[in-house]
């Protein structure tokens, strides 16, 4: 059967739309396309609330079950899973509003706020790893920062997803250390190396080409980020003496000021007694 370009495009569009007649959801609009499928905004008619409905391109039920196992403030909760009449799987999840990390990064945010976002992402990853789940495709497009500062990691991967080149570890097979590599990529993306050589060193260690050169776990990575925030030396960087002194002085500024004031008073008293 011969078909024109316009009919072809129409068919591709209508045959891809999910048939939700037998569900409680009503399709409203397309939100975006992820690694494994399309995400739509839909109305849950029973509860009269909007949800994000992800329809997978291929009949894989594993992804939804995978995420449903994760109960964490930074993992978007799954409300329901199901199978469409054509065999595709779908799942309804909380509709998150906010900015994707790539848009967020372009805004005016302090170093401390950016590191808070990284910490939230890292905590979600560490939790998932403890449940035996790896993300596989961590990148700015898969992280959402809500209007109240909440952070969500989305699009938890399944085996068919191969990752995104700029954030993908060069590992032969993807595992927890590959996720750690991607997390280092996000840190480098959010905090440019010019802002802090210590943070740049943390990102570089996480992104070591050789997995054995990386942090052993995401928790160890987060501990180094915490050390940086507390003004301590980070494990990833053997800092030069001047930098150590600088860090010491900024960490102990009050003490140094008091010491200076004390020395000045002693000095003045010494001269007053003399004359």
Partner 1 sequence: MDADTAIGGSGGQFPSTQASLLEATASGLSGDAMNQVVNLYWKPVYRFLRFKFQKNNEDAKDLTQGFFTSVLQRDFFSRFDPAKASFRTYIRMAAERYAANQHASANRQKRGGGIDFETVEDQHIAAESPEVEFEREWRRQLFSLALDDLSTYCQQSGKQLQFAIFQDYDLTDGDRPSYADLAARHRVPETSVTNHLAWARRVLRGFVTERLRGTTSDSREFHQEMRRVWK
Which one among 28, 30, 71, 86 touches partner 1, defined by CB under 8 A?
A: 86
In the region spanning residues 26 to 45, those forming contacts with partner 1, defined by CB under 8 A, are: 33, 38
Minimum distance of partner 1 from residue 6's CB (angstroms): 6
Q: Does 131 bind partner 1 (CB under 8 A)?
A: no
Which one among 58, 195, 260, 264 touches partner 1, defined by CB under 8 A?
A: 58
Q: Which stretch binds partner 1 (CB under 8 A): 80-88, 94-102, 134-142, 209-217?
A: 80-88
Minimum distance of partner 1 from residue 90's CB (angstroms): 14
Minimum distance of partner 1 from residue 175's CB (angstroms): 18
Task: Write down the catalytic residue from 44, 57, 86, 137.
Answer: 137
Give the tokens for residue 204.
């570089």
Contact 26, 20 (CB under 8 A): yes
Let me know if 137 is a catalytic residue.
Answer: yes
Contact 36, 135 (CB under 8 A): no
Minimum distance of partner 1 from residue 8's CB (angstroms): 5
Contact 121, 143 (CB under 8 A): yes
Q: In this structure, are strands 143-146 and 89-94 parallel, antiparallel, or unpaired?
A: unpaired
Contact 227, 233 (CB under 8 A): yes
Q: Please tell me the distance from the alpha carbon of residue 78 to that of residue 68, in angstroms, as a whole number.
A: 6
DSSP secondary structure letters along 80-142: EEEE-TTS-EEEEEE---EEEHHHHHTS---HHHHHHHHHHHHHHHHHHHHTT---S---GGG
Cβ neighbours for 113, distance < 8 A, ≥ 6 positions apart: none
Q: Does 5 bind partner 1 (CB under 8 A)?
A: yes
Q: Does 192 bind partner 1 (CB under 8 A)?
A: no
The interface mask with partner 1, positions 139-178, x = CB under 8 A, is ---------------------x------------------
CB closer to partner 1 out of 87 and 132: 87
Cβ neighbours for 45, distance < 8 A, ≥ 6 positions apart: 24, 25, 26
Active-site residue list: 137
Q: Which residues bind partner 1 (CB under 8 A)?
A: 1-8, 10-12, 14-17, 19, 21, 33, 38, 57-58, 85-87, 160
């Amino acid at each position: 059967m011969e078909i024109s370009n316009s009919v072809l495009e129409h068919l591709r569009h209508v045959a891809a739309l999910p048939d939700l007649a037998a569900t409680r959801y009503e399709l409203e609009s397309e939100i975006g396309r992820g690694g494994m499928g399309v995400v739509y905004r839909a109305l849950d008619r029973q509860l009269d609330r909007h949800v994000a409905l992800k329809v997978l391109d291929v009949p894989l039920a594993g992804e939804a079950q995978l995420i449903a196992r994760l109960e964490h403030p930074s993992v978007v909760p799954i409300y329901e899973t199901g199978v469409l009449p054509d065999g595709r799987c779908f799942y309804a999840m909380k509709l998150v509003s906010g900015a994707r990390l790539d848009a967020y990064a372009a805004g005016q945010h302090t170093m401390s706020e950016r590191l808070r976002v990284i910490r939230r992402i890292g905590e979600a990853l560490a939790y998932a790893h403890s449940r035996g789940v790896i993300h596989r495709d961590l990148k700015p497009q898969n992280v959402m920062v809500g209007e109240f500062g909440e952070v969500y990691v989305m699009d938890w991967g399944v085996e068919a997803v191969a990752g995104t080149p700029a954030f993908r570890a060069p590992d032969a097979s993807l595992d927890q250390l590959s996720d750690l590599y991607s997390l280092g990529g996000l840190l480098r993306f959010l905090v440019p190396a010019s802002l802090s050589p210590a943070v740049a060193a943390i990102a570089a260690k996480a992104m070591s080409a050789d997995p054995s050169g990386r942090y052993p776990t995401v928790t160890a990575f987060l501990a180094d980020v915490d050390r940086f925030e507390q003004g301590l030396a980070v494990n990833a960087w053997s800092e030069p003496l001047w930098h150590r002194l600088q860090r010491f002085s900024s960490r102990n500024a009050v003490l140094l000021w008091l010491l200076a004031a004390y020395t000045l008073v002693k000095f003045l008293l010494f001269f007053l007694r003399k004359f």
